[in-house]
Amino acid sequence: MCDDTQANKYDYADLAAADEQIRRSEAKIDDVHLQLGTAASVVVEMLRYQVHLIKDVATVLFGIEAPWAQACAKRLREAALEAQIKRQDREAKILLGLPGSNEEAIREWLRSVRLVDENSQWLATAARYGLRRLRALVAVKGEVAIALANVDAVEAQACAAQLRG
């Protein structure tokens, strides 16, 4: 049985205020999701660029028969393969589904995705997943650039400069 004193404690103004608070909170959540979506899109684009750059340098290095070139090329190729986002993981599916960095496209995509996933952390988790891959790839790129810079060969210097650039 409902206690009338508890039920009567709230009036319609309280309900209207609660409704307004819910609307403001939902708007904040939408803004946060948009920021996360934009950040995740940037991470994906940066990762794609870095993978492409590293594959290009690895291809050049594989064309050089010197042992240092082969070792660096192999290290770069392995790092690129490891960094690539594959559809096996839930986070990867989210990142690969991003519509790019267009704000309105991200808003629409977020509305459609939220219909099937109410977890507010899914996008942050996906963005971190991509960022971890990007950081690992950039670390290997830096290590190989340093190794190549220490080789006394024009090709090594050129590849090191390309990796640093």
At residue 115, the pLDDT reads 53
Task: Name the one residue in this structure whose structure tokens are 């993978």.
Answer: 51
At residue 38, the pLDDT reads 86
SS (H, E, C) 40-63: HHHHHHHHHHHHHHHHHHHHHHHC
Among residues 123, 103, 104, the alpha carbon closest in space to that of 113 is found at 123
Whole-angstrom Cα Rg for the chain: 25
pLDDT digit string (tens) for the chain, length 165 residues: 455 555 556 677 777 888 888 888 877 877 888 888 888 889 999 999 999 999 999 999 999 999 999 999 999 999 999 998 888 888 888 888 888 767 888 888 877 776 555 566 888 888 999 999 999 999 999 999 999 999 999 999 999 999 998
CA distances from 49 to 29, 45, 84, 116, 163 (A): 30, 6, 11, 30, 12
At residue 20, the pLDDT reads 87
CA distances from 104 to 25, 31, 69, 118, 126 (A): 20, 12, 45, 20, 20
Separation of CA 85 from chain center: 10
Give the sign of the dihedral formed by CA 46, CA 52, CA 57, CA 61: positive
